[in-house]
Amino acid sequence: MIKDIKLAVLIDGDNIPSKYIKEMMEEIAKYGTPTIKRIYGDWTKPHLSKWKNILLENAITPIQQYGYTTGKNATDSAMIIDAMDILYSEKVNGFCLVSSDSDFTKLATRLREAGHVVYGIGEKKTPNPFIVACDKFIYLEILEIEEDNQEGKRTSKKLNIDKITPKVIRLLSNSVADAADEDGWAFMGDVGSLILKKQPNFDARNFGFEKLTPLFKSLKEFEIEQRERSNKRFKLIYVRNK
């Protein structure tokens, strides 16, 4: 995981519930340092008033954008313009676009074309075009979680856990095969990276598991092997199709 990447976090305030902000910022910190944090909306509207204290606690800068025309989303336009200004300023090397709106699909594509990593965060209702335009997409609902009794497994307070369907099994199996050596073993880290390239919204937490390894361990179609590293501080995890 890249720790020195500088991220611009741009939030669509009209489209994201304020209740997720604490967990969301903790999640973003896993992928880099949020050096620019802005949220866009018409702050004269009563429904955005609940954001006030949250923004102060998380050092997020509110950007005022009036809705000049009924039925048009001026917030989206302001956020897109700012993103392009930040891109050309070369102050960051990654973006986190927080919205469930497909209007940001082209923006995510353009930022990736410029060589920047793009993380998307939104609710389960987010249209697929925006999801696949990102390097990785995280559902807000999985960020509020509680521990389960089973080792390595958690259940979500907000999200109905997705079922592990035959389609999911095929995605996992094909990814293992694509990353495997001549003996069929694939390094778990490589498998995880490959899965995200194929399906940016794939996350073990969607299925009730905190990490990818416990998800694979729960499935009879795979076998897991731990290998010692030379320094013996960490073990390398490998997976193979049975």
Q: Are residues 135 and 160 in the same domain?
A: no
What CATH number is associated with residue 218?
Answer: 3.30.420.610
Q: Which of 158, 148, 134 is nearest to 206 (CA)?
A: 158
pLDDT at 228: 81
By CB neighbour count within 10 A (0-12 exposed, 13-18 middle, 19+ buried), where does 12 fall? buried
Q: Is the pLDDT of residue 154 over 60?
A: no
Q: Are residues 88 and 161 in the same domain?
A: no
Structural domain includes residue 1? no
Q: Are residues 137 and 187 in the same domain?
A: no
Q: Are residues 138 and 157 in the same domain?
A: no
Mean pLDDT of 26-44: 91
Q: Are residues 69 and 103 in the same domain?
A: yes
Band of pLDDT at residue 147, cut at 50, 70 and 90: very low
Q: Is the pLDDT of residue 206 over 70?
A: yes
Q: Please report the sign of the dihedral spanned by the C-alpha atoms of residue 155, residue 160, residue 166, residue 167.
A: negative
The secondary structure of the chain, three-state, reads CCCCCEEEEEEECCCCCHHHHHHHHHHHCCCCEEEEEEEEECCCCHHHHHHHHHHHHCCCEEEECCCCCCCCCHHHHHHHHHHHHHHHHCCCCEEEEECCCHHHHHHHHHHHHCCCEEEEEECCCCCHHHHHCCCEEEEHHHHCEEECCCCCEEEECCCCCCCCCHHHHHHHHHHHHHHCCCCCCEEHHHHHHHHHHHCCCCCHHHHCECCHHHHHHCCCCEEEEEEECCCCCCEEEEEEEC
pLDDT at 65: 77
pTM of the predicted protein model: 0.84
Q: Is the pLDDT of residue 99 over 90?
A: yes
The whole-angstrom separation of Cα 138 and Cα 202 is 8
pLDDT at 77: 84
Q: Are residues 136 and 38 in the same domain?
A: yes
What CATH number is associated with residue 72?
Answer: 3.40.50.1010
Band of pLDDT at residue 45, cut at 50, 70 and 90: confident
Q: Are residues 74 and 185 in the same domain?
A: no
Q: Are residues 47 and 127 in the same domain?
A: yes
Q: Is the pLDDT of residue 34 over 70?
A: yes
Q: Are residues 125 and 175 in the same domain?
A: no
Convert the pLDDT of each residue in 55-80 to its tens digit: 888 899 988 877 654 444 667 888 99
Q: Are residues 138 and 155 in the same domain?
A: no
Q: Which residue has the higher pLDDT, 148 or 128?
A: 128
pLDDT at 181: 93
Domain that residue 205 falls in: 147-241
pLDDT at 71: 43
Domain count, the chain: 2
